[in-house]
Structure 1
């Protein structure tokens, strides 16, 4: 494994995107446990993208305009839903116990995180362009090596997202009990989801 791969992976992971935005939103609204759940869900969603790259499905998405557009607009629709759901939450949050408010299970947080990353064809196309650069076509074990690199990418994603999430959760008590701050944060995250949805909608292959 090259230093170039690790550095590229780190740059890609820390670049703000839907997964990181959702992890931060979960951390500030529901605390440490939710932030870890969101990070896990975002990481878990990478598995289908890596498998798609290895099996050639990513090439089909790249070649088929219809398949790409269908998946893209499904992703746009879900980002719009996330923006609406974020704004829809009202009131302050009791920070006495992380699990008290609002009543959203870790499983639901994980499912939302998985869908956010899964319904984004840009991620699949990214892996189609990214992983082969670090694997020689003549290498006899190219597929296992690509899977291994995908696993490293997932590990880095999880560690970085958890770190950002825990950092955000550490200042949670200073912001979530203030109605005006919470309203501003919700609008900010909702606006981020809207912006990311618009960017995805305008993305060409």
Structure 2
């Protein structure tokens, strides 16, 4: 159908890939739990936009460009790794401040970037940056999509677009689940600030881990 060789397998594979923990989903859930549904969806929109840009880059041959110029790939890896590590360190610092609050200040929530308002953390821009600073995603889209494209189909671009739309629908549905789950958990965590600090510190360590993994990845 429309040049897709095995739609059922593609959907199952996409769902399994999307639900794997990653910096995008963790970031969206964390800001939703602290700032509410609107802020969570601003972050989700950033992820959606970033993924769309990467998919378009893939279609326009960015993967071949990265293969042809290894230094470009290395540069993108370094920038992306540093940014993820930066976010992770900010999370750990904020978790520490929450776990050991000053006696004169009672903290009931933790902010992932040490700011005090949703506007200050710029959820859309941060999520967009996390998404696009990952050249491995371009290579993933290219290698994953081509497995389900019928080479004999007359309009392969249409097939590519449909596969991308399916992936984005699944991704946004999953992010919505995380956003509303984060809101429900927020009340509990706000009443147990030390538990919140511990959880966010673990997320911070995961972000640092994502940065290290990106920095050490290869083509």
- TM-score > 0.5, shorter chain as reference: yes
Of 31-40 and 2-11, the range deviating more from structure 2: 31-40
Of 23-32 and 45-54, the range deviating more from structure 2: 23-32
Work out which of the residue numbers 185, 199, 205 in structure 2 matches 1:171. Answer: 185
How far did 1:54 drift? 1.0
Q: Which residue is equivalent to 1:195?
A: 209
> Could you list the per-position Cα deviations for residues 119-166 of structure 1 after superposition, in whole angstroms to 9, with x for gaps in the alignment?
011111100101111112332111122022112211110110110221
Does residue 4 (structure 1) correspond to residue 9 (structure 2)? The answer is yes
Q: 1:72·1:119 contact (CA, 8 Å) conserved in 2?
A: yes
Q: Which residue is equivalent to 2:61?
A: 56
Q: 1:33·1:106 contact (CA, 8 Å) conserved in 2?
A: no
Q: Which residue is equivalent to 1:138?
A: 152
> Could you list the per-position Cα deviations for residues 13-32 of structure 1 after superposition, in whole angstroms to 9, with x for gaps in the alignment?
00111111111221222232
Unpaired runs of 5+ residues, structure 2, are 99-106
Does residue 43 (structure 1) correspond to residue 48 (structure 2)? The answer is yes
Q: Which residue is equivalent to 2:137?
A: 123
How far did 1:71 drift? 0.9
1:21-40, aligned counterparts within 5 Å? 21-40=26-45
Give the Cα–Cα distance (whole angstroms) in 1 for the partners of residues 120 and 63 of structure 2.
30
TM-score by length of 2: 0.84
CA RMSD across the alignment: 2.0
Give the Cα–Cα distance (whole angstroms) in 2 for the partners of residues 4 and 149 of structure 1.
12
Does residue 180 (structure 1) correspond to residue 185 (structure 2)? The answer is no
* Structure number, greater radius of gyration: 2
The list of structure 1 runs, each at least 4 consecutive aligned residues, that deviate by more than 4 angstroms after superposition, is none
* Matched pairs, number: 200
Q: 2:34·2:109 contact (CA, 8 Å) conserved in 1?
A: no
